Structures are given as C-alpha cells and as structure tokens.
Amino acid sequence: MQNLKNSTHLTDSDIEHLQHNALHKTYNKGYNIHGDDGTCTGVVFINSGIIRIYIMSDEGKEITLYRLYEDDFCMLSASCVLQSISFEVHVDAETDCDVFVIRPDAFRNLMDRNLYLANYALNTTVGRFSEVMWAMQQVLFMSLDKRLAVFLYDEYARTGRLLIKMTHEQIAKHIGSAREVVSRMLKYLSRDGIVEVVRGGITILDKSKLQNLIHN
C-alpha cells in the first residue's frame, strides 16, 4: 500500500487502520472475486497477479472492460463506496493473485476524513472509464479482425513476447466474441502469414502486417 500512501498523504495510523480492516487473500487463476449478486466485496489492492474486470450479457457473453496489475486497486468491487456507481461488474483472477481486500465501510470512513484519498479514489475510477469507453468503442465501431489485431498487438506490447499464451476461448471473452469466430479469424490471419496458431497460444509472425491491419 506504499503507493497509495504516497499519493494520498495517508498517515501511518491511516495505513494501520486500513491494514487492520483488510483481509489478505490468495486467489487461484480463474477465481471469481466479485460478481453481480449485489454484495459489496471491498476495495481490492493487488500485491501480485492480474485481475480482469468484465461485464456479462444475459446469454453469458463476456466483454473485458480492463485489467489491473501489481500495485493497482479495484474500486468497482466496492461499488457501495462510490455512490455514483450503479452498475455491476465481474472481477476474476486472470492469474494466481495475492491481494488485500479492504472492508468497504473502513475505506469509506477514511475517505470521509481524508479528501486526498477521496479525490484519488474518484480520479482513479474516472480514469478507468477511459479504458471502458475504448472497449465499448471497439465493440460498437470496429470490425472483429481489427479488434483481434488490436488485442494481440496490445498483448505483445504489454508482455514484450511474440507468443500470446491464451486459448481461443480466453481471447473471445476479452474482445466480446465467440470462440468459434475467433478461431476462424485466427485461421485467416495464419493463412496471411501474420500469426501462427501453436500449442498453448498464438505466435505473432509479422508485427508490421498486424499493425497494418489495425490502421487500414
């Protein structure tokens, strides 16, 4: 929580208050941390791992809104803290995760006493909505081949690796499509020499062609 302390002028006693009202949790890959059952899980601080925030249709179709990494924190798992948030999301452990879950009432009480913390939480949440809008823009206005190309290139840029270690099902959930459609699109990209479908993932063969697909 050191980054939070530096950004919000929290005192040592404030940090102690949060730690006293926090549960240290480890989640296995795929575990649902927060769902749409109306509960207010709490503010999740990520010590290590990746968590995925997504929405789900009544038919079970998923669209990733954004992902959070080490030293990030998730406010949407504690929507009761920010009264202006009135929609529900799902929060899953995309990898094995080590986190602190802060009780929502303890975090809200501290926000009431510390304007720096309140401002930081609000600004962080608002900033995430730019990622939400980008995800919605892709779904609404971008063809599937471009959405897939953007996702693959973003994964390469994030990890620095040409091998994207994800199943077709995982990729489909991220971009809001069906596994069968993603498999078909990957076959087209493979035929054009842009990617290669390998055991355990997809290897990018030609970054320039992938970028051209994004920008054309």
Domain ranges for the chain, please list them: 2-139, 142-215
Beta bridge partners of 56: 62
pLDDT in the model for residue 117? 84
- Domain 2-139 grouped into CATH 3.50.50.60: no
For the sheet with 32-34, list strands across it.
32-34, 90-93, 51-56, 62-68
Q: What is the pLDDT of residue 210?
A: 92
Asked whether 194 and 209 are in contact (CB, 8 A), the reply is yes
Please identify which residue in the block is written with the tokens 């809104």: 65
Domain 142-215 has CATH 1.10.3720.10: no
Distance CA 140, CA 82 (A): 28
Q: Which of 95, 90, 68 is nearest to 77 (CA)?
A: 90
How confident is the model at residue 5, as a pLDDT? 59
Closest CA to 47 of 121, 101, 89, 11: 101
Rounded Cα distance between 142 and 138, Å, is 5
Handedness of CA 126, 72, 44, 9 (dihedral sign): negative
Residue 53 confidence (pLDDT): 92
pLDDT tens digit at each of 216 positions of the chain: 656 656 667 788 888 888 889 999 999 999 999 886 667 888 999 999 999 999 888 887 888 999 999 988 888 887 677 665 656 789 999 999 999 999 988 888 888 888 888 888 888 888 888 888 888 888 888 888 899 999 999 999 999 999 999 999 999 999 988 899 999 999 999 999 999 999 889 999 999 999 998 887
CA distance 64 to 154: 14
Which residue, chain included where needed, has tokens 């992902």? Answer: 67
